[in-house]
C-alpha cells in the first residue's frame, strides 16, 4: 500500500460499568445462563454421534433447551447464538492445534461473561464528559466510564462503528469491552532507531541503548498487610471446615476480598505495561525481542518420588516472579503497537544472549559474575557493563546479522533477512 492509504482497523476498548444492585443481579443471571447453555451444549456434543454434530442440529437443540428450561430465557436470543458460535470455534481451534479441547465450565472457575453480538443493539450515547450510556438487552440502559472517543451518533457510519461488545466480570465488578471498527490512515514508516530488548525479573525491561524501564510494588504496604491477613484468615477458616461441608459465606466473602486486592495489583501492572510499551513503540522504529518459551521456564522443579528435585522452594519463587512480570503480554502489546505507529517487531533466538559478550561476540565461562554485572573474561577484550544491557545489545546484534525468527507451521524457523548492518554499528 502507498502512504496515506485508508485502512480498516479493528480493536477493542474496555470500560467500567456502573450498575445498580438490580442491574448486577440481571447481568449475573444472564452470565450464569450463558455458562449453563455452554455446559448443555457440551453434554449434547458428547452424546451425539459424529455425523449429527452439525451447526443446524446444535441450533435446534439450543432452541429446544430455551423452551424447556425457564431460567435460560433471561439470556437474549442473540447472546445464546454467540455461545453456539464460540463453542464451535473452540473446537476448530482444537482441531487446528491452537488450543485444548473445550470442557465444562465450573460455577466459580469460569469467567462470567455475556455477548452482545450486534453493535446496533447498544445504542451508545455520551451524556457527560466522563460517562456514557449503553443499552444492554434485557437489562436496560446502563452507565459506563467514558475514557476513549467512540464512533457514536453522527460520527458512526459503515466504516467507523461499533460492531458488538462483551460483558465480563472480575473481582472489581462488571466491565464492557467494545469491538470497534475504524477507518484510519495507514501510518508512515517509523524512522526511529533500532533497539533490542531484554526482559528480566530484577530489571523488567532493559533496552540496548542503556535505558531501563522499572516499576515498584503493585500493592502498598497497607494493602500487602491486608492481603496477608485475609489469606491467613481464609486458611484458618478452611482448616476448621469439616470434610464434605459446603464453603461458608464468610469464607466466600474472604475469597472475594483477596481476589479484589489481586485484581487491583493486576490492573496496575497492566497499566504500567501499556504505558511502557506505548513509549517504546513511539520512540523506536524496529523493536527486537527474544523468542522465549515461557511455559518451559516456569515448570516446577519438584521432580518425582524416585528423582526429587532440588531447590524447589527457590524455583517456585522464581516461577512466581516470572509469571508476575507477564513477559508474553509485553510482547503481545508491543506487536500491535509497533504496527500501529509504523514500526516492526522481530524475534531472535534466545540461547546465549545473556552469556555472550556484546563487544567481542565470544562466550567465555565466568563472564556473568553476578545478576547485574557482566565482565568479559576474554583476555583480548575485558569489556564490562550492565548484564541486562549486554543481553539487549546481543539481541539487537542477532537481528542485524539477519537471524530473525519467522513462524512457520506452528514453529519458529531462522530466516536471514535482507537487512544486514556492519558489526561496528552495534
Q: What are the pLDDT digits (tens) for 257-275?
A: 999 999 999 999 999 999 9
pLDDT number for residue 417: 42
What residue spans define the domains of the chain?
1-186, 190-214+260-426
Rounded to whole angstroms, the Cα distance separating 179 from 265 reads: 26
- List Cα–Cα distances, 184 to 7, 9, 10, 237, in angstroms: 6, 7, 10, 55
pLDDT number for residue 406: 57
Specify burial of residue 191 (Cβ count, 10 A radius: 0-12, 13-18, 19+).
exposed
Residues in contact with 281: Cβ distance below 8 Å, sequence separation at least 6, in sequence order: 287, 334, 337, 338, 340, 341, 343
DSSP-based helix, strand, coil % in the chain, nearest 5? 40, 25, 35
pLDDT number for residue 116: 92
222's grid cell: 497497607
Mean pLDDT of 137-153: 90
User: b vs e for 10-34, b when ≥16 Cβ sit within 10 Å of the residue's Cβ?
Assistant: eeeeebebebeeebeebbbbbbbbb
385's grid cell: 557493563
Q: Categorize the per-residue pLDDT at 4 as very low, low, confident or very high, splitting at 50, 70 and 90.
A: low
User: b vs e for 406-423, b when ≥16 Cβ sit within 10 Å of the residue's Cβ?
Assistant: eeeeeeeeeeeeeeeeee
Cross-strand bridge partners of residue 373:
386
Are 96 and 89 in contact by the 8 Å Cβ rule? The answer is no
- Tens of pLDDT, residue by residue over 324-348, are 888 888 899 999 899 888 888 999 8
Tell whether the model's pLDDT for residue 425 goes beyond 50.
Answer: no
Tell whether the model's pLDDT for residue 420 goes beyond 60.
Answer: no
pLDDT number for residue 364: 78
Reported pTM: 0.81
pLDDT number for residue 128: 86
DSSP type of residue 189: P
Nearest to 226 by CA among 252, 265, 263, 261: 261
Q: Categorize the per-residue pLDDT at 352 as very low, low, confident or very high, splitting at 50, 70 and 90.
A: confident
Q: Categorize the per-residue pLDDT at 304 as very low, low, confident or very high, splitting at 50, 70 and 90.
A: low
Helices 327-340 and 312-325 cross at an angle (nearest 10°) of 20
Are 168 and 174 in contact by the 8 Å Cβ rule? The answer is yes
Nearest to 388 by CA among 370, 366, 414, 362: 370
- Tens of pLDDT, residue by residue over 291-302, are 887 777 777 777
Amino acid at each position: 500500500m502507498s502512504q496515506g492509504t485508508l485502512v480498516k482497523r479493528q480493536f477493542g476498548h474496555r470500560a467500567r460499568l456502573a450498575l445498580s444492585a438490580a442491574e448486577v443481579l440481571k447481568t449475573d443471571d444472564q452470565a450464569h445462563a450463558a455458562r449453563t447453555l455452554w455446559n448443555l451444549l457440551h453434554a449434547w456434543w458428547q452424546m451425539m454421534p459424529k455425523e449429527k454434530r452439525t451447526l443446524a442440529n446444535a441450533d435446534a437443540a439450543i432452541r429446544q433447551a430455551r423452551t424447556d428450561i425457564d431460567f435460560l430465557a433471561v439470556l437474549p436470543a442473540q447472546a445464546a447464538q454467540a455461545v453456539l458460535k464460540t463453542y464451535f470455534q473452540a473446537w476448530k481451534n482444537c482441531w487446528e492445534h491452537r488450543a485444548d479441547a473445550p470442557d465444562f465450565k465450573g460455577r466459580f472457575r469460569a469467567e462470567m461473561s455475556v455477548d452482545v453480538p450486534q453493535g446496533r443493539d447498544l445504542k451508545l450515547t455520551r451524556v457527560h464528559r466522563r460517562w456514557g450510556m449503553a443499552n444492554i438487552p434485557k437489562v436496560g440502559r446502563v452507565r459506563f466510564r467514558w475514557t476513549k472517543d467512540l464512533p457514536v451518533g453522527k460520527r458512526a457510519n459503515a466504516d467507523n462503528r461499533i460492531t458488538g461488545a462483551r460483558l465480563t466480570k472480575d473481582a472489581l465488578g462488571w466491565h464492557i469491552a467494545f469491538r470497534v471498527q475504524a477507518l484510519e490512515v495507514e501510518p508512515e514508516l517509523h524512522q526511529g532507531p533500532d533497539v533490542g530488548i531484554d526482559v528480566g525479573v530484577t530489571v523488567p525491561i532493559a533496552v540496548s541503548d542503556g535505558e531501563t524501564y522499572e516499576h515498584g510494588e503493585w500493592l502498598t504496604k497497607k494493602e500487602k498487610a491486608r492481603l496477608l491477613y485475609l489469606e491467613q484468615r481464609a486458611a484458618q477458616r478452611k482448616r476448621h471446615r469439616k470434610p464434605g461441608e459446603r464453603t461458608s459465606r464468610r469464607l466466600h466473602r474472604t475469597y472475594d476480598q483477596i481476589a479484589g486486592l489481586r485484581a487491583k495489583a493486576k490492573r496496575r501492572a497492566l497499566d504500567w505495561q501499556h504505558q511502557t510499551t506505548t513509549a517504546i513503540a513511539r520512540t523506536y522504529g524496529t523493536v527486537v525481542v527474544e523468542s522465549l518459551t515461557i511455559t518451559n521456564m516456569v515448570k516446577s522443579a519438584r521432580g518425582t518420588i524416585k528423582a526429587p528435585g532440588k531447590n524447589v522452594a527457590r524455583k517456585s519463587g522464581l516461577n512466581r516472579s516470572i509469571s508476575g512480570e507477564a513477559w508474553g503480554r509485553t510482547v503481545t502489546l508491543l506487536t500491535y503497537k509497533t504496527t500501529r505507529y509504523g514500526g516492526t517487531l522481530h524475534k531472535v533466538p534466545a540461547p546465549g544472549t545473556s552469556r555472550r559478550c556484546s563487544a567481542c561476540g565470544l562466550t567465555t565461562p565466568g563472564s556473568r559474575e553476578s545478576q547485574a554485572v557482566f565482565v568479559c573474561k576474554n583476555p583480548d577484550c575485558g569489556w564490562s557493563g550492565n548484564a541486562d544491557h549486554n543481553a539487549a545489545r546481543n539481541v539487537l546484534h542477532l537481528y542485524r546479522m539477519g537471524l530473525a525468527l519467522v513462524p512457520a507451521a506452528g514453529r519458529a524457523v531462522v530466516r536471514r533477512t535482507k537487512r544486514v548492518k556492519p558489526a561496528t554499528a552495534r
